[in-house]
Structures are given as structure tokens and as C-alpha cells.
């Protein structure tokens, strides 16, 4: 098993488009999915009951999960005919949402449990999962498979972890112990995000945004994320050891409140960390800007170049103004940036989200939103999308050119 690789988390995956027969309930309150011969490599040739995690994901709402089981067996076992294996699964919160035309990812874990992941076809999450699992072809009505045995190319990086988080898999950094000397000064307290971001850059002295802003941004984010998860593990482990009790009773409400706090901290911290490291990249290139300034109607763009004072000056040349919104994850929220900075008709949006669907990026393009994605993440997009998506280097070149005309 390769530590830090996909093979540590998956033996293989099969993907298919759900047919009406797959998705519609039967009178027995059971569903069934026919498998293919290649799937036997992962599922076997014996009747088996698998522990299964059912997951519904789409681009607009929260993830829905259900813990249950799935039964795999040969429906022709008593007949003198070639084997035909099917996967039976009970009705649950996830299967009630799925319908014909949705995409099923059936991922087999090393412990022989199954992730039964259902997503809408042609959605961003479908594109991301196909990219994560290294599957180039679009799903068909029959399973296509991908295995990870002996996988040397499936090393998990910042981009892969982004998607693993979406399906509820916690990445275990094989080198996390090496971070203890960096974070020991914080004890069991979280520092402010700015302080943590500064430390991440300070402890990567070999990384310089002047050489490659795209790679520097990802290196800083990856390092800070690893530092944060290591410190978080220490703090949360200690809190769990203390327990959640109210006298002789277990305080369930306190546990839930603490758990939600952990999740919310992760989400909010990533957004602020992203902005901190973007600012450091802009500073390295000596760009002039203001961040988190208020424009019309109380809107607050993440970055205005060359600053809020020129923006508010009606005599300042609008063609030299640039607005940048930063969203670590876009989902369907990108239209929120359209009314920000009304003086600037063309909006720029930078994100860390890989493989956004073609439908979403087309809507951005038609809405005069220039999408910016760090170079390595840009490779997760389809060729026709990459042709117009910018890298961070492209954006810095634009602003540098406009800034040169201010003198």
C-alpha cells in the first residue's frame, strides 16, 4: 500500500449511468443494479453482504449520507446459465433521491466496504469524481472500472483532498509528524488565520511567488492545511478525552455543538487562508490593491486594484480598475459576485475548485466573469474549458500591465 496515494483509500471504482431499472423501486422495497464481469475483480464471485455508505451529492445542497449494507449475489446461482451478479440495496434517504440518468460511483475500500455515491449527470461533482479516479470517458449505462493496485501516479495532493472531503474521507498525511516542531508553540489553541498563514510561508522559504505564483499559492495552502489538520487533531483529541458529560448523563447537545464548530472552523478558515496567500502573491509582484473594501450597496469585493480610492474617484479611468473575487469553492455561488464593484463590468473570479462543470463555466463566460484557476488545478478541466480559463500568472500579468500605465 502506497502511503498518501489513492490506493490507500480505494481498491477500485466502477461508474455508470443509472437506468430506470436501476433507480426505480420494486414492490419488494429493494433496488437492484446489474454489475459487469470486470466488477468481479473488486466485488468477487461469492454472495456477500457489504457494509455500505450511501452518499448523495450535487452542486446546490448539503451532502446526504446513510449507513447501511448492500448484498451482492449471483441471481442465476440455481440455473444452468452463466453467472449474473447483481447488487441489491434497501430503500434509504439517498436512493429515494436518485433517478434514471444520475451517475453512480461504486467505490470499494480496502476493508471491503462500499461507497455508493450518486450524483447528477454533467454536474461539477461528477466531473470532480471522474478526475479524482482518473477516468477520462464519460459514464455509460454499463459499469466502467478503474483499479488502484500498485498505483504510482495517484498521489494525493491538495486538489485530491478537496474532493475526498466532499465524500467524507479524511486524508491522513503520512508526513504529519514532521509538522509537530512547527506548531508546538501554539499548544492546544488555534492561532489567528493570518498568523497561521504567515507561519506557513515562513516555513517554506524555498517557495517564491515571483518564480511561479500558481505553484507558490498551492504550496502555501497545502502546507498550511497540513499544519492546521495536525494541530486540529491534537486539540480535538484532547477535547474528546475530556468527554461530554452533564453530571451522570452524556451531554449530546454539547457534543453536536462542538462537532459543528469543528466543521465551521474548517470551512471559514480555508476562505481566509486563500485570501491571505493571494495577497502575499500580489505583494511579491508589487501590485497595488485594497482588500475587503465596501463599494456600492454595502458590497465587499475581496480585492480592488489599484485600490478603493481610485475606484471611488469618478475621474479615474475605469479601464484601469480590476476587481477580483476569491472563492475557495464556487459551487453555485459565483453569481453573488456580479453586483460587486458596479463600476467594473468585467469580473474576475479565482477559485481552488477543480473540474467545475462545462455548464457552469459557460454561464460564467456569458456573464463576463473571467475564471482564474491555479495552473495545476486548471488541468482538471476539459480542454475546451482550459482554452479560456486563466492561471493566476495570467491575472497578475493583466494587473501589472494596467498598473504600469498609472505612472
Residues designated as active site? 311
Whose cell is 495532493? That residue is 157
The pairing of strands 347-351 and 322-327 is parallel
Q: What's 239-278 look like in SS3?
A: HHHHCCEECCEECHHHHHHHHHHHHHHHHHHHHHHHHHHH
Whose cell is 453536536? That residue is 256
What does the alpha-carbon distance between residue 4 and residue 306 come to, in Å, rounded to a whole number? 42
The pairing of strands 144-147 and 245-246 is unpaired
Whose cell is 495570467? That residue is 394
CA dihedral 364, 369, 375, 381 (to 10 degrees): 10
Judge contact between 17 and 141, C-beta under 8 A: yes
Q: What region does 340 belong to: left with phi over 0, alpha with psi -120 to 50, or beta?
A: beta
Whose cell is 487562508? That residue is 273
Residue 22, φ and ψ in degrees, nearest 5? -65, -40
**Cell digits for 53?**
455508505
Judge contact between 196 and 228, C-beta under 8 A: yes
Overall size of the chain counted in residues: 407
Beta strands in 24-132, from DSSP E residues, in sequence order: 30-34, 48-56, 64-74, 85-90, 103-108, 114-119
Q: What region does 355 belong to: left with phi over 0, alpha with psi -120 to 50, or beta?
A: left
**Cell digits for 87?**
447488487
The pairing of strands 144-147 and 12-17 is antiparallel
Amino acid at each position: 500500500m502506497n502511503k498518501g496515494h489513492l490506493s490507500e483509500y480505494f481498491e477500485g471504482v466502477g461508474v455508470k449511468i443509472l437506468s430506470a431499472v436501476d433507480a426505480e423501486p420494486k414492490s419488494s422495497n429493494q433496488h437492484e443494479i446489474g454489475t459487469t464481469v470486470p466488477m468481479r475483480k473488486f466485488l468477487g464471485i461469492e454472495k456477500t453482504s457489504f457494509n455500505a455508505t450511501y452518499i448523495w451529492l450535487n452542486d446546490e445542497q448539503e451532502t446526504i449520507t446513510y449507513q447501511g449494507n448492500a448484498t451482492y449475489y449471483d441471481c442465476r446461482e440455481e440455473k444452468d446459465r452463466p453467472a449474473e451478479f447483481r447488487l441489491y440495496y434497501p430503500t434509504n434517504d439517498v436512493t429515494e433521491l436518485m433517478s434514471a440518468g444520475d451517475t453512480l460511483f461504486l467505490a470499494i475500500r480496502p476493508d471491503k466496504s462500499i461507497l455508493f455515491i450518486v450524483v447528477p449527470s454533467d454536474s461539477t461533482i461528477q466531473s470532480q469524481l471522474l478526475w479524482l479516479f482518473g477516468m477520462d470517458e464519460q459514464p455509460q449505462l454499463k459499469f466502467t472500472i478503474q483499479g488502484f493496485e500498485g498505483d504510482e501516479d495517484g498521489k494525493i495532493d491538495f486538489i485530491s483532498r478537496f474532493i475526498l472531503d466532499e465524500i467524507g474521507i479524511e486524508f491522513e498525511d503520512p508526513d504529519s509528524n514532521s509538522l509537530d516542531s512547527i506548531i508546538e508553540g501554539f499548544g492546544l489553541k488555534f492561532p489567528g488565520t493570518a498568523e497561521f498563514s504567515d507561519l506557513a510561508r515562513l516555513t517554506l522559504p524555498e517557495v517564491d511567488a515571483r518564480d511561479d505564483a500558481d505553484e507558490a499559492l498551492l504550496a502555501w495552502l497545502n502546507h498550511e492545511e497540513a499544519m492546521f489538520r495536525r494541530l486540529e487533531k491534537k486539540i480535538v483529541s484532547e477535547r474528546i478525552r475530556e468527554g461530554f458529560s452533564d453530571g451522570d448523563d452524556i451531554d449530546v447537545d454539547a457534543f453536536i455543538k462542538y462537532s459543528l464548530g469543528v466543521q465551521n472552523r474548517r470551512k471559514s478558515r480555508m476562505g481566509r487562508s486563500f485570501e491571505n496567500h493571494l495577497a502575499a502573491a500580489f505583494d511579491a509582484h508589487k501590485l497595488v490593491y485594497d482588500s475587503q473594501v465596501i463599494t456600492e450597496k454595502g458590497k465587499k469585493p475581496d480585492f480592488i486594484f489599484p485600490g478603493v480610492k481610485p475606484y471611488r474617484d469618478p475621474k479615474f479611468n475605469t479601464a484601469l480598475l480590476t476587481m477580483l473575487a476569491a472563492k475557495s469553492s464556487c459551487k453555485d455561488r459565483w453569481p453573488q459576485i456580479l453586483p460587486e464593484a458596479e463600476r467594473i463590468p468585467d469580473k474576475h473570479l479565482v477559485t481552488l475548485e477543480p473540474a467545475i462543470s462545462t455548464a457552469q463555466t459557460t454561464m460564467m463566460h456569458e456573464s463576463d466573469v473571467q475564471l482564474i484557476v491555479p495552473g495545476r488545478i486548471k488541468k482538471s478541466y476539459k480542454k475546451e474549458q482550459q482554452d479560456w480559463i486563466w492561471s493566476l500568472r495570467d491575472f497578475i500579468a493583466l494587473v501589472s500591465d494596467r498598473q504600469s500605465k498609472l505612472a
